[in-house]
Amino acid sequence: MSISRLDSADRSRYARQLRLSGFGESAQAALLDSHVLVIGAGGLGAPILSYLAAVGIGTITVVDPDIVELSNLHRQVIHTEAAIGTRKIDSAQQRMKGINSSIEVRTIPRLLTPDNALDMLDGVDLVIDGSDNFATRYLANDACEILGIPLVWGTILGFDGQVAVFDTEHGATLRDLYPEVPAPGSVPDCSVAGVLGPLCGSIGSAMAMEAIKVLTGIGTPLYSSVAIHSSLDAGWERVPVSPIPGRTPITDLEQHRGDYEQHSFDLRSADDRAPEVGASPENTLGPATVSWPDLGDNLVIVDIRDDEEVASGMVPGAVHIPMDELLADPSRLPKAPSTLTTGPADTAALSEPAHSHGIALYCRSGIRSAKTAAQLRRQGLDVTSINGGYLAYLSQPASQRS
Protein backbone atom coordinates (compact mmCIF):
# COMPACT_ATOMS: atom_id res chain seq x y z
CA MET A 1 0.00 0.00 0.00
CA SER A 2 1.46 3.33 -1.07
CA ILE A 3 1.14 6.15 1.45
CA SER A 4 -0.53 9.31 0.21
CA ARG A 5 0.63 12.78 1.12
CA LEU A 6 -2.00 14.87 2.85
CA ASP A 7 -2.93 18.16 1.25
CA SER A 8 -4.20 21.26 3.04
CA ALA A 9 -7.83 20.22 2.65
CA ASP A 10 -7.07 16.86 4.28
CA ARG A 11 -5.27 18.51 7.16
CA SER A 12 -8.21 20.80 7.72
CA ARG A 13 -10.89 18.09 7.46
CA TYR A 14 -9.09 15.58 9.67
CA ALA A 15 -7.46 18.04 12.05
CA ARG A 16 -8.93 16.54 15.23
CA GLN A 17 -7.75 13.06 14.25
CA LEU A 18 -4.28 14.25 13.32
CA ARG A 19 -3.82 15.75 16.80
CA LEU A 20 -4.29 12.35 18.46
CA SER A 21 -1.14 11.02 20.08
CA GLY A 22 0.07 7.99 18.12
CA PHE A 23 -2.15 8.70 15.12
CA GLY A 24 -0.87 11.63 13.07
CA GLU A 25 -0.48 11.99 9.31
CA SER A 26 0.83 8.47 8.67
CA ALA A 27 -2.31 6.87 10.09
CA GLN A 28 -4.55 9.28 8.20
CA ALA A 29 -2.68 8.60 4.98
CA ALA A 30 -3.12 4.85 5.55
CA LEU A 31 -6.87 5.35 5.83
CA LEU A 32 -7.00 7.43 2.66
CA ASP A 33 -5.12 4.68 0.81
CA SER A 34 -7.39 1.90 2.09
CA HIS A 35 -10.18 0.06 0.31
CA VAL A 36 -12.82 -1.36 2.66
CA LEU A 37 -15.75 -3.50 1.56
CA VAL A 38 -18.85 -3.41 3.77
CA ILE A 39 -21.50 -6.10 3.55
CA GLY A 40 -24.87 -4.60 4.40
CA ALA A 41 -26.24 -1.06 4.52
CA GLY A 42 -28.72 -1.78 7.30
CA GLY A 43 -28.68 -1.54 11.08
CA LEU A 44 -24.96 -2.19 11.53
CA GLY A 45 -24.02 -0.80 8.15
CA ALA A 46 -25.55 2.61 8.90
CA PRO A 47 -23.04 3.64 11.62
CA ILE A 48 -20.20 1.71 10.00
CA LEU A 49 -20.56 3.46 6.66
CA SER A 50 -21.16 6.87 8.21
CA TYR A 51 -18.01 6.73 10.31
CA LEU A 52 -15.84 5.17 7.60
CA ALA A 53 -16.80 7.99 5.28
CA ALA A 54 -16.23 10.63 7.94
CA VAL A 55 -12.88 9.23 9.07
CA GLY A 56 -11.55 9.26 5.51
CA ILE A 57 -11.40 5.72 4.16
CA GLY A 58 -10.34 6.42 0.59
CA THR A 59 -12.47 3.77 -1.15
CA ILE A 60 -15.55 2.13 0.33
CA THR A 61 -17.54 -0.56 -1.48
CA VAL A 62 -21.06 -1.25 -0.21
CA VAL A 63 -22.73 -4.60 -0.97
CA ASP A 64 -26.50 -4.85 -0.46
CA PRO A 65 -29.41 -5.63 -2.82
CA ASP A 66 -32.12 -4.53 -0.38
CA ILE A 67 -34.43 -1.53 -0.50
CA VAL A 68 -35.32 0.94 2.24
CA GLU A 69 -38.52 0.22 4.17
CA LEU A 70 -40.32 2.27 6.78
CA SER A 71 -39.55 -0.32 9.46
CA ASN A 72 -35.82 0.20 8.83
CA LEU A 73 -35.69 3.84 9.86
CA HIS A 74 -35.72 3.41 13.65
CA ARG A 75 -32.23 1.89 13.48
CA GLN A 76 -30.80 2.38 9.97
CA VAL A 77 -30.08 6.03 10.49
CA ILE A 78 -28.14 6.49 7.26
CA HIS A 79 -31.49 6.40 5.41
CA THR A 80 -34.36 8.90 5.43
CA GLU A 81 -38.09 8.79 4.78
CA ALA A 82 -37.44 10.16 1.32
CA ALA A 83 -35.38 7.03 0.53
CA ILE A 84 -38.20 4.55 1.21
CA GLY A 85 -38.59 2.28 -1.79
CA THR A 86 -35.09 3.03 -3.16
CA ARG A 87 -31.99 0.86 -2.96
CA LYS A 88 -30.13 1.03 0.33
CA ILE A 89 -26.80 1.31 -1.45
CA ASP A 90 -27.99 4.40 -3.34
CA SER A 91 -29.35 6.03 -0.20
CA ALA A 92 -26.16 5.19 1.71
CA GLN A 93 -23.94 6.45 -1.08
CA GLN A 94 -25.76 9.77 -1.19
CA ARG A 95 -25.39 10.21 2.57
CA MET A 96 -21.73 9.17 2.60
CA LYS A 97 -20.82 11.52 -0.22
CA GLY A 98 -22.69 14.24 1.64
CA ILE A 99 -20.44 13.61 4.64
CA ASN A 100 -17.22 13.38 2.65
CA SER A 101 -17.21 14.19 -1.06
CA SER A 102 -13.47 13.48 -1.37
CA ILE A 103 -13.79 9.69 -0.94
CA GLU A 104 -14.85 7.09 -3.53
CA VAL A 105 -18.01 5.11 -2.77
CA ARG A 106 -18.70 2.06 -4.90
CA THR A 107 -21.95 0.10 -4.78
CA ILE A 108 -22.86 -3.49 -5.59
CA PRO A 109 -26.61 -4.32 -5.57
CA ARG A 110 -26.04 -8.05 -5.19
CA LEU A 111 -26.16 -10.76 -2.56
CA LEU A 112 -22.79 -12.20 -1.62
CA THR A 113 -22.81 -15.77 -2.95
CA PRO A 114 -20.28 -18.62 -3.29
CA ASP A 115 -20.16 -17.85 -7.00
CA ASN A 116 -19.19 -14.17 -6.68
CA ALA A 117 -17.59 -13.81 -3.23
CA LEU A 118 -13.94 -14.33 -4.18
CA ASP A 119 -14.16 -11.94 -7.11
CA MET A 120 -16.10 -9.37 -5.11
CA LEU A 121 -13.65 -9.36 -2.19
CA ASP A 122 -10.42 -9.71 -4.17
CA GLY A 123 -8.14 -6.69 -3.86
CA VAL A 124 -9.75 -5.00 -0.85
CA ASP A 125 -7.73 -4.31 2.28
CA LEU A 126 -10.42 -5.19 4.82
CA VAL A 127 -13.97 -6.54 4.92
CA ILE A 128 -16.62 -5.54 7.44
CA ASP A 129 -19.56 -7.91 7.80
CA GLY A 130 -22.75 -6.10 8.75
CA SER A 131 -25.04 -8.83 7.38
CA ASP A 132 -28.01 -10.30 9.24
CA ASN A 133 -27.83 -14.03 8.48
CA PHE A 134 -25.49 -16.93 9.16
CA ALA A 135 -25.15 -17.95 5.52
CA THR A 136 -23.53 -14.64 4.59
CA ARG A 137 -21.44 -14.48 7.76
CA TYR A 138 -19.80 -17.85 7.16
CA LEU A 139 -19.36 -17.13 3.47
CA ALA A 140 -17.65 -13.81 4.19
CA ASN A 141 -15.45 -15.46 6.83
CA ASP A 142 -14.38 -18.27 4.52
CA ALA A 143 -13.75 -16.01 1.52
CA CYS A 144 -11.59 -13.75 3.69
CA GLU A 145 -9.64 -16.76 4.97
CA ILE A 146 -8.97 -17.92 1.41
CA LEU A 147 -7.90 -14.44 0.28
CA GLY A 148 -5.99 -13.56 3.45
CA ILE A 149 -8.12 -10.49 4.18
CA PRO A 150 -8.91 -9.39 7.76
CA LEU A 151 -12.62 -9.44 8.59
CA VAL A 152 -14.36 -7.23 11.14
CA TRP A 153 -17.44 -9.12 12.32
CA GLY A 154 -20.38 -8.06 14.43
CA THR A 155 -23.83 -9.26 15.34
CA ILE A 156 -26.78 -7.95 17.33
CA LEU A 157 -29.87 -9.54 18.80
CA GLY A 158 -32.33 -8.09 21.25
CA PHE A 159 -30.37 -5.95 23.71
CA ASP A 160 -26.95 -7.56 23.15
CA GLY A 161 -24.18 -7.52 20.56
CA GLN A 162 -20.80 -9.03 19.73
CA VAL A 163 -17.72 -7.74 17.89
CA ALA A 164 -14.56 -9.52 16.74
CA VAL A 165 -11.75 -9.35 14.18
CA PHE A 166 -11.04 -12.57 12.30
CA ASP A 167 -7.69 -13.05 10.59
CA THR A 168 -5.82 -16.34 10.23
CA GLU A 169 -2.51 -14.49 10.29
CA HIS A 170 -3.27 -13.19 13.77
CA GLY A 171 -5.47 -15.90 15.28
CA ALA A 172 -9.01 -17.18 15.19
CA THR A 173 -11.84 -17.01 12.68
CA LEU A 174 -15.61 -17.31 12.91
CA ARG A 175 -15.28 -21.10 12.59
CA ASP A 176 -13.13 -21.14 15.72
CA LEU A 177 -15.69 -19.07 17.62
CA TYR A 178 -18.72 -20.99 16.31
CA PRO A 179 -17.55 -24.23 14.65
CA GLU A 180 -21.04 -25.40 13.77
CA VAL A 181 -23.23 -23.35 11.46
CA PRO A 182 -26.57 -22.85 13.25
CA ALA A 183 -29.50 -24.53 11.58
CA PRO A 184 -31.60 -22.14 9.50
CA GLY A 185 -34.30 -20.58 11.65
CA SER A 186 -32.83 -21.91 14.91
CA VAL A 187 -31.75 -18.42 16.00
CA PRO A 188 -34.35 -15.67 15.63
CA ASP A 189 -33.38 -12.65 13.61
CA CYS A 190 -34.19 -9.04 14.39
CA SER A 191 -37.49 -9.21 12.53
CA VAL A 192 -38.61 -11.81 15.06
CA ALA A 193 -36.70 -10.95 18.25
CA GLY A 194 -36.60 -7.19 17.72
CA VAL A 195 -33.76 -4.72 18.19
CA LEU A 196 -33.27 -1.20 19.51
CA GLY A 197 -31.67 1.34 17.21
CA PRO A 198 -29.00 2.63 19.61
CA LEU A 199 -27.60 -0.90 19.98
CA CYS A 200 -26.88 -0.88 16.25
CA GLY A 201 -25.02 2.36 16.82
CA SER A 202 -22.96 0.91 19.68
CA ILE A 203 -21.94 -2.25 17.85
CA GLY A 204 -21.56 -0.64 14.43
CA SER A 205 -19.37 2.13 15.85
CA ALA A 206 -17.22 -0.46 17.65
CA MET A 207 -16.83 -2.32 14.35
CA ALA A 208 -15.77 0.87 12.57
CA MET A 209 -13.19 1.49 15.31
CA GLU A 210 -11.79 -2.03 14.91
CA ALA A 211 -11.42 -1.41 11.19
CA ILE A 212 -9.50 1.80 11.85
CA LYS A 213 -7.20 -0.02 14.29
CA VAL A 214 -6.44 -2.79 11.82
CA LEU A 215 -5.78 -0.40 8.92
CA THR A 216 -3.59 2.04 10.83
CA GLY A 217 -1.85 -0.23 13.33
CA ILE A 218 -2.95 1.78 16.36
CA GLY A 219 -4.19 0.08 19.51
CA THR A 220 -4.96 -3.64 19.91
CA PRO A 221 -7.56 -5.05 17.53
CA LEU A 222 -9.92 -7.79 18.71
CA TYR A 223 -7.85 -10.62 17.27
CA SER A 224 -8.54 -14.02 18.86
CA SER A 225 -11.22 -12.57 21.10
CA VAL A 226 -14.83 -11.50 20.99
CA ALA A 227 -16.20 -8.44 22.79
CA ILE A 228 -19.72 -9.01 24.12
CA HIS A 229 -21.88 -6.01 24.92
CA SER A 230 -25.02 -5.90 27.04
CA SER A 231 -26.80 -2.63 26.45
CA LEU A 232 -29.10 -2.96 29.46
CA ASP A 233 -26.26 -2.78 31.97
CA ALA A 234 -23.79 -0.96 29.66
CA GLY A 235 -21.32 -3.79 30.17
CA TRP A 236 -18.57 -5.07 27.89
CA GLU A 237 -16.88 -8.44 28.34
CA ARG A 238 -13.90 -9.66 26.33
CA VAL A 239 -13.73 -13.42 25.85
CA PRO A 240 -10.63 -15.08 24.35
CA VAL A 241 -11.06 -17.29 21.27
CA SER A 242 -8.32 -19.71 20.25
CA PRO A 243 -7.86 -21.35 16.87
CA ILE A 244 -9.11 -24.93 16.95
CA PRO A 245 -6.07 -27.24 16.85
CA GLY A 246 -5.97 -29.20 13.63
CA ARG A 247 -8.87 -27.37 12.01
CA THR A 248 -8.71 -27.87 8.28
CA PRO A 249 -8.07 -24.49 6.63
CA ILE A 250 -10.71 -23.16 4.27
CA THR A 251 -9.28 -23.31 0.75
CA ASP A 252 -12.35 -23.85 -1.44
CA LEU A 253 -15.82 -22.35 -1.08
CA GLU A 254 -17.34 -25.17 -3.10
CA GLN A 255 -16.50 -27.68 -0.36
CA HIS A 256 -18.62 -25.70 2.10
CA ARG A 257 -21.44 -24.61 -0.18
CA GLY A 258 -24.00 -26.25 2.12
CA ASP A 259 -23.03 -23.82 4.90
CA TYR A 260 -24.02 -20.89 2.70
CA GLU A 261 -27.49 -22.16 1.87
CA GLN A 262 -29.39 -20.78 4.83
CA HIS A 263 -31.64 -19.08 2.32
CA SER A 264 -32.75 -22.52 1.10
CA PHE A 265 -33.99 -24.12 4.29
CA ASP A 266 -33.47 -27.90 4.51
CA LEU A 267 -36.75 -29.48 3.49
CA ARG A 268 -35.58 -33.07 3.15
CA SER A 269 -37.67 -34.11 6.14
CA ALA A 270 -40.73 -33.21 4.10
CA ASP A 271 -39.50 -34.81 0.87
CA ASP A 272 -38.13 -38.05 2.32
CA ARG A 273 -41.31 -39.20 3.99
CA ALA A 274 -42.70 -42.55 2.78
CA PRO A 275 -45.44 -42.24 0.15
CA GLU A 276 -48.93 -43.06 1.25
CA VAL A 277 -50.47 -46.37 0.20
CA GLY A 278 -52.30 -45.91 -3.07
CA ALA A 279 -50.48 -42.68 -3.93
CA SER A 280 -50.11 -42.15 -7.66
CA PRO A 281 -47.09 -40.70 -9.47
CA GLU A 282 -49.20 -37.66 -10.37
CA ASN A 283 -49.37 -36.76 -6.68
CA THR A 284 -45.59 -36.74 -6.21
CA LEU A 285 -44.45 -33.34 -4.99
CA GLY A 286 -42.08 -31.24 -7.03
CA PRO A 287 -38.76 -29.77 -5.84
CA ALA A 288 -38.68 -28.26 -2.35
CA THR A 289 -36.66 -25.24 -3.45
CA VAL A 290 -36.03 -23.36 -6.66
CA SER A 291 -33.94 -20.37 -7.71
CA TRP A 292 -35.33 -17.32 -9.50
CA PRO A 293 -33.64 -18.07 -12.84
CA ASP A 294 -35.08 -21.60 -12.78
CA LEU A 295 -38.72 -20.69 -12.18
CA GLY A 296 -41.06 -22.36 -14.61
CA ASP A 297 -43.64 -20.43 -16.60
CA ASN A 298 -46.50 -22.28 -14.90
CA LEU A 299 -45.60 -21.39 -11.32
CA VAL A 300 -47.80 -19.00 -9.34
CA ILE A 301 -45.60 -16.81 -7.13
CA VAL A 302 -46.81 -16.01 -3.61
CA ASP A 303 -45.24 -13.28 -1.45
CA ILE A 304 -45.59 -14.29 2.22
CA ARG A 305 -43.97 -11.21 3.75
CA ASP A 306 -45.85 -8.96 6.14
CA ASP A 307 -47.88 -6.00 4.94
CA GLU A 308 -45.25 -3.43 5.90
CA GLU A 309 -42.58 -5.36 3.98
CA VAL A 310 -44.48 -5.45 0.69
CA ALA A 311 -45.32 -1.74 0.98
CA SER A 312 -41.90 -0.96 -0.49
CA GLY A 313 -42.27 -3.31 -3.43
CA MET A 314 -42.88 -6.90 -4.49
CA VAL A 315 -42.34 -9.14 -7.49
CA PRO A 316 -44.64 -8.14 -10.38
CA GLY A 317 -47.55 -10.53 -10.72
CA ALA A 318 -47.03 -12.13 -7.31
CA VAL A 319 -49.94 -12.83 -4.97
CA HIS A 320 -49.58 -11.46 -1.42
CA ILE A 321 -50.64 -13.77 1.42
CA PRO A 322 -48.84 -13.10 4.75
CA MET A 323 -47.18 -16.20 6.19
CA ASP A 324 -49.33 -16.42 9.34
CA GLU A 325 -52.53 -16.11 7.33
CA LEU A 326 -51.40 -18.74 4.84
CA LEU A 327 -50.46 -21.26 7.52
CA ALA A 328 -53.77 -20.65 9.29
CA ASP A 329 -55.74 -21.21 6.09
CA PRO A 330 -53.83 -23.04 3.30
CA SER A 331 -56.98 -22.97 1.17
CA ARG A 332 -56.04 -19.37 0.35
CA LEU A 333 -53.33 -20.68 -1.96
CA PRO A 334 -54.15 -19.69 -5.53
CA LYS A 335 -54.49 -22.25 -8.28
CA ALA A 336 -51.66 -22.83 -10.70
CA PRO A 337 -52.20 -21.35 -14.19
CA SER A 338 -52.78 -24.80 -15.68
CA THR A 339 -55.88 -25.20 -13.49
CA LEU A 340 -57.34 -21.74 -14.01
CA THR A 341 -60.23 -21.19 -16.37
CA THR A 342 -61.00 -17.52 -15.85
CA GLY A 343 -59.75 -14.64 -13.75
CA PRO A 344 -56.29 -13.77 -12.41
CA ALA A 345 -54.43 -16.18 -10.11
CA ASP A 346 -54.93 -14.08 -7.00
CA THR A 347 -58.71 -14.37 -7.18
CA ALA A 348 -58.93 -18.14 -7.57
CA ALA A 349 -58.96 -19.96 -4.24
CA LEU A 350 -58.51 -23.70 -3.93
CA SER A 351 -61.56 -25.73 -3.01
CA GLU A 352 -59.30 -28.73 -2.42
CA PRO A 353 -55.90 -27.49 -1.18
CA ALA A 354 -54.34 -30.96 -1.23
CA HIS A 355 -54.50 -30.95 -5.03
CA SER A 356 -52.71 -27.63 -5.62
CA HIS A 357 -49.69 -27.67 -7.94
CA GLY A 358 -47.09 -25.16 -9.07
CA ILE A 359 -46.95 -22.67 -6.19
CA ALA A 360 -43.68 -20.87 -5.36
CA LEU A 361 -43.34 -18.96 -2.07
CA TYR A 362 -40.89 -16.19 -1.29
CA CYS A 363 -40.12 -13.99 1.72
CA ARG A 364 -37.28 -11.53 2.32
CA SER A 365 -34.34 -13.95 2.39
CA GLY A 366 -35.83 -17.40 1.86
CA ILE A 367 -35.94 -18.63 5.46
CA ARG A 368 -39.60 -18.00 6.26
CA SER A 369 -40.75 -19.23 2.86
CA ALA A 370 -38.76 -22.44 3.25
CA LYS A 371 -40.20 -23.14 6.68
CA THR A 372 -43.70 -22.37 5.41
CA ALA A 373 -43.21 -24.60 2.38
CA ALA A 374 -42.02 -27.42 4.62
CA GLN A 375 -45.21 -27.25 6.69
CA LEU A 376 -47.47 -27.10 3.65
CA ARG A 377 -45.66 -29.95 1.91
CA ARG A 378 -46.25 -32.15 4.93
CA GLN A 379 -49.94 -31.59 4.23
CA GLY A 380 -49.46 -32.84 0.68
CA LEU A 381 -49.42 -29.39 -0.97
CA ASP A 382 -47.06 -29.06 -3.92
CA VAL A 383 -45.36 -25.80 -2.99
CA THR A 384 -41.75 -24.76 -3.33
CA SER A 385 -39.59 -22.08 -1.70
CA ILE A 386 -37.60 -19.61 -3.78
CA ASN A 387 -33.97 -19.51 -2.68
CA GLY A 388 -32.77 -16.16 -1.39
CA GLY A 389 -36.24 -14.62 -1.42
CA TYR A 390 -36.81 -11.00 -2.40
CA LEU A 391 -33.16 -10.10 -1.82
CA ALA A 392 -32.09 -12.65 -4.43
CA TYR A 393 -34.72 -11.27 -6.79
CA LEU A 394 -33.33 -7.74 -6.34
CA SER A 395 -29.81 -9.11 -6.93
CA GLN A 396 -30.68 -10.12 -10.47
CA PRO A 397 -29.97 -7.75 -13.37
CA ALA A 398 -33.10 -5.79 -14.23
CA SER A 399 -33.35 -7.56 -17.56
CA GLN A 400 -33.66 -10.95 -15.84
CA ARG A 401 -36.39 -10.04 -13.38
CA SER A 402 -39.85 -11.34 -14.06
Q: Is 250 found in the same domain as 273?
A: no
Last residue within a domain, chosen from 260, 281, 302:
260
Q: Is 371 found in the same domain as 252?
A: no
Number of structural domains found in the chain: 2
Assigned domain for 92 exists:
yes
Assigned domain for 8 exists:
no
Q: Is 175 found in the same domain as 106?
A: yes
Assigned domain for 192 exists:
yes
Lowest mean pLDDT among 36-50, 96-110, 182-196: 182-196
Assigned domain for 346 exists:
yes
Rounded to an integer, the average pLDDT of 343-356 is 39
Mean pLDDT taken over the chain: 87
Q: Is 188 found in the same domain as 280?
A: no
List of long-range contacts for 106-110, beta carbons under 8 Å, 24+ apart = 106/59, 106/60, 106/61, 106/62, 107/61, 107/62, 108/61, 108/62, 108/63, 108/64, 109/64, 109/65, 109/394, 109/395, 110/63, 110/65, 110/395
Tens of pLDDT, residues 122-178: 999 999 999 988 999 999 999 999 999 999 999 998 899 999 999 999 999 999 999
Residue 144 annotated to the active site: no
Domain holding 327: CATH number?
A: 3.40.250.10
Assigned domain for 4 exists:
no
Residue 190 annotated to the active site: yes
Whole-model pTM over 0.75: yes
Catalytic hit among 108, 190, 327, 340? 190
Query: Over 50: is that where the pLDDT of 344 sits?
Result: no
Tens of pLDDT, residues 11-29: 999 999 999 999 999 999 9
Tens of pLDDT, residues 179-210: 988 766 666 566 666 788 999 999 999 999 99
Residues 167 and 145 sit within 8 Å (Cβ to Cβ): no
Catalytic hit among 363, 370, 373, 386? 363
Last residue within a domain, chosen from 236, 260, 284:
260
Supply the range of the domain harboring residue 374.
268-400
Tens of pLDDT, residues 362-385: 999 888 899 899 999 999 999 999
Strand order in the sheet with 151-157: 104-108, 59-63, 35-39, 126-129, 151-157, 160-166, 225-230, 235-240
Tens of pLDDT, residues 270-313: 343 333 434 443 346 788 889 998 887 778 999 999 998 998 89
Confidence of residue 222 (pLDDT cuts 50, 70, 90): very high
Assigned domain for 240 exists:
yes
pLDDT at position 349? 40
Residue bearing the bigger pLDDT, 346 or 21: 21
pLDDT at position 186? 61
Residues 310 and 320 sit within 8 Å (Cβ to Cβ): yes
Rounded to an integer, the average pLDDT of 217-223 is 97
Q: Is 159 found in the same domain as 57?
A: yes
pLDDT at position 401? 74
Domain holding 107: CATH number?
A: 3.40.50.720
Last residue within a domain, chosen from 260, 282, 306:
260
